[in-house]
């Protein structure tokens, strides 16, 4: 899922790891969330106004200003004591409010932090660090415009404050302006060439732009300067995953886990890569660990649900999606995924309710429109399905599956030319879409354009030689075209790949019927009908074969049964030009 990285990363040496949970758009990417560095380092990162040389240094003051590693609670308590002492100058009070604000921010109390930053700025209007960190707090609140105003002021006051450029880059990234963010990261790195956090953040911006090699170079540099920088390993792993280099991605996630064995994000991300490698048991183990470490990580429940769904376990998937939604009721992707699971369970109406909710939460969610369209198609509500595919295509013009699925709906309506146009578009977008070739071939078969149909099935088989459906479809098209021996070979291969398949037995029976081999035809039709007694095509073909064997009563019974199931089956067979 999309994540805003590096908010408030002002430190160089992590001492205390605290998890920040910025509000993000769920589902765009299922990886990564921000981790910020240690409290003492964060407090020391921006220069505060120096206290008067004559001021005594109390224990509360040393703890408040982070002169030694301490917990945020103790910083807040000590800074509060300094503020309430009524003995300090305005300059020192500004510093105390600033440090207490930073402790509140790291603890996730963003509004209280902003109040203290406000007070620090009231006391010292030239306090660049307070503007900078107040901007970071607004970034954490997903208010990038207010954040940018603060970073602008910090930069005006201190044009060499590299962290302000870095943090303003984060705000622009939050606004969806990665190019503008990169300009700020560039400046931060010019000011501090070994600024690992800015290098990491620039890497994220390049990754979001699809410039994966440049992103990886930045993550490499960040890791070179900060060899224990967990988030940089995590993000480089994500970049390698996006490149399809899954083994190198796993290596980076392994290292992130070695450095931070309690980091749920690294386990979640490694699980995603194992899922892409179809190593679903290992993926589930990683999601389990992520959930043990962070029982409120909705993302991990969603991803584990996806793994269970891929393993053909929709009931367990629904349980995980339920938990993800309970943790995050605005999680559009979890609703979409649960809808798919309910559809797999045969509960189409329940699935549609989930797709409806996903779309309410994310009105431009193309995949949810596509999936709801698939559900309406399964219910035979083809016009409503087509409306949903239209929306999916409007929001995602390059979503090949939406064109392919709309083609299926048009094909089911008998609008074969429109179906073929959609399959053409799907194949242009994804030339390796086996189902699109299969379905376009079937549409050409129904139109009687058999040579083009056979070409499509050739392509499907070349892309996926172990696909029995393509072999069967080419068998039937070749039989219709009169290429009976090659048709028979295709059906035999389909049955080798998937024995006892009703459709292929029916197709081979049809080949034998056209070859005039009535006994073999009847044997295959018998086998097909044992598997599916309501298959009208096999009943009618067997009736014709029995007629050739002079079994007129048996032929009449089969032909009548076939017509009762499919009143137009006789018309279909007459189109095959089979001699009586």
What is the model's pTM?
0.79
Count helices and strands (H / E) in the chain: 32, 2
Instruction: State yes or no: pLDDT of 11 exceeds 60.
Output: no
**For 1-207, which CATH class?**
mainly alpha
580 falls in which pLDDT band (50, 70, 90)?
Answer: low
| DSSP annotation string for 311-380 | TT-HHHHHHHHHHHHHH-TT-HHHHHHHHHHHHHTT-HHHHHHHHHHHHHHSTT-HHHHHHHHHHHHHTT
The domain ranges of the chain are: 1-207, 364-426, 500-580
Can you tell me the mean pLDDT for 61-70?
Answer: 85
Instruction: State yes or no: pLDDT of 28 exceeds 50.
Output: no
**pLDDT value of position 66:** 84
Question: Exposure of 234 by Cβ count < 10 A (0-12 exposed, 13-18 middle, 19+ buried)?
Answer: buried
Q: Is the C-alpha dihedral spanning 40, 44, 49, 55 positive or negative? A: positive
**Distance between start and end Cα atoms, the chain:** 62
**pLDDT value of position 552:** 96
**pLDDT value of position 109:** 95
**pLDDT value of position 57:** 57
* 364-426 matches 500-580 in fold: yes
Question: Exposure of 209 by Cβ count < 10 A (0-12 exposed, 13-18 middle, 19+ buried)?
Answer: middle
68 falls in which pLDDT band (50, 70, 90)?
Answer: confident
Instruction: State yes or no: pLDDT of 8 exceeds 60.
Output: no
How many whole angstroms separate alpha carbon 47 and alpha carbon 129? 7
Q: Is the C-alpha dihedral spanning 250, 251, 252, 253 positive or negative? A: positive
How many whole angstroms separate alpha carbon 136 and alpha carbon 197? 14
Instruction: For residue 346, give every residue at least 6 positions away whose Cβ sits within 8 Å of its Cβ, in sequence order, or none.
Output: none
**Is 41:15 a contact under the CB 8 Å cutoff?**
yes
**Is 372:339 a contact under the CB 8 Å cutoff?**
yes
Instruction: State yes or no: pLDDT of 244 exceeds 60.
Output: yes
23 falls in which pLDDT band (50, 70, 90)?
Answer: very low
12 falls in which pLDDT band (50, 70, 90)?
Answer: very low
Instruction: State yes or no: pLDDT of 579 exceeds 90.
Output: no
Can you tell me the mean pLDDT for 365-369?
Answer: 97
**pLDDT value of position 575:** 87
Instruction: State yes or no: pLDDT of 369 exceeds 50.
Output: yes
569 falls in which pLDDT band (50, 70, 90)?
Answer: very high
Three-state DSSP state, 150: helix
Can you tell me the mean pLDDT for 326-353?
Answer: 97
Q: Give which of 198, 227, 259, 264 is closest to 19, Cα–Cα.
A: 264
How many whole angstroms separate alpha carbon 190 and alpha carbon 467? 55
40 falls in which pLDDT band (50, 70, 90)?
Answer: very low
pLDDT, averaged across the chain: 90
pLDDT single digits (tens) 439-495:
999 999 999 999 999 999 999 999 999 999 999 999 999 999 999 999 999 999 999
**Residue 170 Cα distances to 14, 136, 143, 178, 226, angstroms:** 19, 9, 11, 9, 19
| Helices 314-327 and 298-310, packing angle to 10 deg | 170
Q: Which residue has the tokens 């501090």?
A: 192
Higher pLDDT, 155 or 57: 155
Tell the CATH topology of 364-426. 1.25.40
**pLDDT value of position 69:** 75
Higher pLDDT, 293 or 66: 293
Can you tell me the mean pLDDT for 539-565?
Answer: 97
Instruction: For residue 3, give every residue at least 6 positions away whose Cβ sits within 8 Å of its Cβ, in sequence order, or none.
Output: 22, 24, 29, 31, 32, 33, 34
Instruction: State yes or no: pLDDT of 51 exceeds 70.
Output: no
Can you tell me the mean pLDDT for 174-181?
Answer: 96
How many whole angstroms separate alpha carbon 149 and alpha carbon 7? 16
Superfamily for the 500-580 domain: Tetratricopeptide repeat domain (1.25.40.10)
**pLDDT value of position 294:** 97
């Amino acid at each position: 899922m999309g994540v805003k990285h590096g908010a408030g990363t002002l430190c160089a040496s992590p001492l205390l790891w605290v998890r920040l949970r910025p509000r993000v758009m769920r589902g765009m990417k299922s990886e990564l969330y921000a981790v910020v560095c240690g409290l003492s380092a964060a407090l020391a990162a921006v220069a505060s106004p120096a206290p008067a040389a004559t001021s005594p240094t109390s224990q509360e003051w040393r703890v408040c200003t982070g002169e030694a590693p301490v917990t945020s609670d103790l910083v807040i308590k000590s800074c509060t004591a300094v503020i309430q002492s009524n003995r300090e100058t305005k300059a020192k009070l500004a510093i105390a409010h600033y440090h207490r604000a930073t402790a509140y921010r790291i603890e996730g109390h963003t509004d209280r932090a902003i109040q203290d930053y406000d007070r620090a700025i009231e006391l010292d209007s030239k306090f660049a660090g307070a503007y900078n960190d107040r901007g970071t707090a607004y970034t954490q609140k997903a208010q990038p415009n207010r954040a940018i105003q603060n970073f602008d002021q910090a930069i005006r006051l201190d044009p060499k404050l590299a962290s302000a450029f870095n943090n303003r880059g984060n705000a622009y990234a939050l606004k969806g302006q990665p190019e503008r963010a990169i300009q700020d990261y560039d400046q931060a790195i010019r000011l501090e060439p070994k600024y690992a956090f800015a290098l990491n953040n620039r890497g994220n911006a390049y990754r979001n732009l699809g410039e994966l090699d440049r992103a990886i170079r930045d993550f490499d540099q960040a890791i070179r300067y900060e060899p224990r920088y967990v988030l940089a390993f995590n993000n480089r792993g994500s970049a390698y995953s996006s490149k399809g280099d899954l083994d190198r991605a796993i290596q980076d996630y392994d290292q992130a886990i070695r450095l931070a064995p309690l980091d749920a994000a690294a386990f979640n991300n490694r699980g995603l890569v194992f899922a892409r490698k179809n190593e679903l048991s290992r993926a589930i183990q990683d999601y389990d660990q992520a959930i043990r470490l962070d029982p409120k990580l909705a993302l991990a429940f969603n991803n584990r649900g996806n793994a269970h769904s891929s393993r053909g376990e929709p009931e367990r998937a629904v349980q995980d999606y339920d938990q993800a939604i309970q943790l995050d009721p605005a999680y559009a992707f979890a609703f979409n995924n649960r809808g798919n699971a309910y559809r797999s369970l045969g509960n189409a109406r329940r699935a549609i309710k989930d797709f409806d909710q996903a779309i309410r939460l994310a009105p431009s969610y193309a995949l949810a429109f596509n999936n709801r369209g698939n559900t309406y198609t399964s219910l035979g509500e083809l016009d409503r399905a087509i409306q949903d595919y239209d929306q999916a295509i409007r929001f995602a013009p390059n979503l090949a599956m939406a064109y392919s699925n709309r083609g299926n709906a048009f094909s089911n309506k008998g609008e074969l030319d429109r179906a073929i146009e959609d399959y053409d578009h799907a194949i242009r977008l994804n030339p390796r879409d086996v189902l699109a070739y299969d379905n376009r071939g079937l549409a050409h078969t129904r139109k009687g354009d058999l040579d083009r149909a056979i070409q499509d099935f050739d392509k499907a088989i070349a892309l996926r030689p172990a696909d029995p459906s393509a072999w069967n479809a080419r068998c039937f098209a070749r039989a219709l075209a009169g290429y009976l021996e090659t048709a028979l070979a295709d059906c035999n291969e389909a049955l080798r790949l998937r024995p006892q398949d009703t459709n292929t037995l029916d197709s081979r029976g049809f080949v034998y019927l056209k070859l005039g081999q009535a006994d073999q035809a009847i044997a295959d039709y018998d086998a097909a009908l044992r598997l599916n007694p309501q298959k009208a095509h096999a009943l009618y073909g067997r009736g014709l074969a029995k007629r050739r064997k002079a079994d007129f009563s048996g032929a009449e019974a089969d032909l009548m049964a076939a017509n009762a199931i499919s009143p137009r089956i006789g018309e279909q067979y007459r189109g095959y030009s089979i001699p009586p």
